């Protein structure tokens, strides 16, 4: 079965931000904008919340459960740290 996607005429254009073209020598403004973006993303991530080590799981479900538990615990700790003045 072949699925052919046709271009829809009912799509809306939201926003007006223009992507800067890739340049061999970027401007200082673009470098500063990129640095701010990287800092924001790094601040949001807070890490993977999975401690270093070797983990062996019997099933993929067990591995996924472990990853979800680590993520939930880590996000809770991060939220508590950010909430305390």
Q: Is the dihedral of CA 58, 60, 62, 67 positive or negative?
A: positive
For residue 66, tell me if it sits in a domain: yes
Which domain range does residue 82 map to?
Answer: 57-85
Count of domains observed in the chain: 1
Choose among 47, 46, 51, 36: nearest CA to 82.
46
Whether the full predicted model's pTM is greater than 0.85, yes or no, is no
Least confident of 12-16, 19-23, 30-34, 38-42: 19-23
Reported as a single tens digit per residue, the pLDDT across 48-76 is: 788 889 999 999 999 999 999 999 999 89
Can you tell me whether residue 68 is helix, strand or coil? helix
pLDDT score for 68: 95
Position 83 in a domain: yes
Locate 79 and state its tokens.
């939220």
């Amino acid at each position: 079965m072949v699925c052919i996607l046709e271009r829809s005429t009912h799509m809306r254009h939201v926003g007006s931000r223009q992507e800067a073209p890739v340049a061999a020598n970027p401007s200082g403004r673009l470098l500063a904008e990129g640095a701010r973006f990287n800092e924001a993303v790094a601040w949001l991530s807070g890490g993977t919340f999975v401690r270093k080590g070797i983990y062996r799981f019997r099933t993929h479900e067990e591995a996924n459960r472990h990853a979800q538990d680590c993520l939930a615990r880590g996000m809770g700790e991060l939220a508590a740290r950010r909430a305390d003045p």
